[in-house]
A = this chain, B = another copy of it.
Amino acid sequence: MPERTNMADATPIRPIPAGEVTEWTYESDVVVAGYGVAGASAAVAAATAGAEVLVLERAGGWGGAASMSGGFIYLGGGTPLQKACGFEDTADNMKAFMKAALGPGVDESKIDAYCEGSVDHYHWLTEECGVPFKMSFWGEPGWEPPGDDGLQYTGGENAAPFNATIPPAPRGHVPQMSDKRTGEQGGGYMLMKPLTDKAAELGVGAEYDMRVQALIVDTGGRVVGVQAKQYGKDVAVRARKGVVLATGSFAYNDDMLEAYAPRLIGRPAASIEEHDGRAIRMAQALGADLAHMDATEVAFFCDPQLFIRGILVNGRGQRYINEDTYPGRIGQATLIENQNQSFLVIDEQAYEEGMSRPTSSPQLRHQPKRVAESVAELEAEMGLPAGALQATVDVYNRHAANGEDPLFGKKTEWVKPIGSPVAAIDLRGMTGGFTLGGLRTSVDSEVLHVSGEPIPGLFAAGRCTSGVSAGGYASGASLGDGSFFGRRAGISAARS
């Protein structure tokens, strides 16, 4: 039997028959496991629908990975923020982009619902929950806006290959920070604070230091509660209407990573150690189905203001992507298609120009360790075969002289011949991320049994589920589908 990591706690994961529960320590209509964005959205929606709601959170307070994130929510189809910034968008264009960029294998019904409901979701976030957006657009390269602008391209919508066929619109909506300089109230915090304030206002209860362990089921197979550990003690929590699982990804469960997403071993990022996959396994023990367990968000640890002005080459000195696309696409292409090997080749002038531009990620402004007078010299210093990098740069420069990048379609504004002196910034292994796979759920956030039928009384949302991303990614898709399908989970549970 293989060893299991992250299972120091030996509480059984198998469903517990309700008849064996001697005492219900807590009780509510709807019980939500996890107080990140999916759990908070579920709690608000369930409470709004009239249900009594109790949230169980493993950490000492609300927030989850969401409150530490940049705060992007992927929204579109013509939101007030998009319109205020002068961008046209339609649900159909949004669907077309998401189906092209987040696959292969996307759940089309989920993307359809998500896009058709996106403007409504914007109104819910702003008007119902008080999430603030500043009506301004950030158009420079970057992982996030360096200031408090509310809108940015976060999926490569305006870059090749998508911009050739799908009218682009920026869809990364980031809540306005009250003071970004302090570093304490970033976009994610400014999403989670209003959501949890709203939940509190609606009377949602919360219990902290609660590690969910197993589902409690009645004789008919309906989920009627959760077994949890609170301060090391077993407690049973009864859910009169439904249980919502919203405990995040499995990026910190090494055993699950090894079995499902081994490329991410040793490189979890934008996730928290509470992301142990327990909720996924609790539901699997009931016969819940999974989807896209290998899919991963992959960050690329370099400032886009730099790499967009040079060329990225793999460990063989070959270009492998248009440098003006969403940096997360670059991260995935690096990790999955290029053995996690990447170098930024950039001349001095372009480097200085990039360094002079504003950025949200000064810590990703790596300095070159190798500077050379010629590409031939640089290639030798990098240990590449003679001619390999020269051939790449020659072909790039030949077309860049005309402002073109026929190989990858980088936009003219970013295409410039590489001159001298020239440097290579070593970006090998500079990726990390979180898992995108998980429980298979319906568009109404019901957890689906392998039979295809919903498991009665069980709902889920956020990164413990497989959401709108089947492999590809856009920043904001996780807070996006977590909040969108979190609401649906809350509504479904309240009606259940």
Contact = CB atoms under 8 A, between A and B. Distances in A.
Interface of A: 1-2, 4, 7, 12-14, 103-105, 107, 109, 257-260, 262-263, 265, 281, 284-287, 289-294, 316, 318-319, 336-338, 385-388, 391-392, 394-395, 398-399, 406-408, 440, 442, 446, 448-454, 466, 470-471
Contacts of A7: 452
Contacts of A289: 259, 284
A452 B285 contact: no
A316 B258 CA distance: 33
A86 B259 CA distance: 37
Contacts of A385: 395, 399, 406-407
Q: Which 7 A-B pairs have the closest CB atoms?
A: A105-B262, A391-B391, A385-B406, A294-B294, A104-B262, A259-B291, A337-B337
A285 to B, nearest CB: 4
A127 B244 CA distance: 57
B337 A450 contact: no
B290 A287 contact: no
Contacts of A387: 394-395, 398-399
Contacts of A2: 107, 109, 440, 442, 448, 452
Contacts of A391: 391-392, 394-395
A34 B458 CA distance: 34
B454 A1 contact: yes
Nearest to A293: B293
Contacts of A262: 103-105, 470-471
Contacts of A260: 290-294
A388 to B, nearest CB: 6
A451 B285 contact: yes
30 contacts: A2-B109, A2-B442, A2-B448, A13-B451, A105-B258, A105-B259, A259-B290, A259-B291, A259-B292, A259-B440, A260-B291, A281-B450, A284-B284, A284-B287, A284-B289, A285-B450, A293-B293, A294-B294, A316-B407, A318-B318, A337-B338, A385-B399, A385-B407, A386-B398, A386-B406, A387-B395, A387-B398, A388-B395, A388-B406, A388-B407
A109 to B, nearest CB: 7
A14 B287 contact: yes
Given A336-B337, A395-B387, A448 B13 contact: no
Nearest to A452: B4
B4 A265 contact: no
A36 to B, nearest CB: 23
A440 B407 CA distance: 42
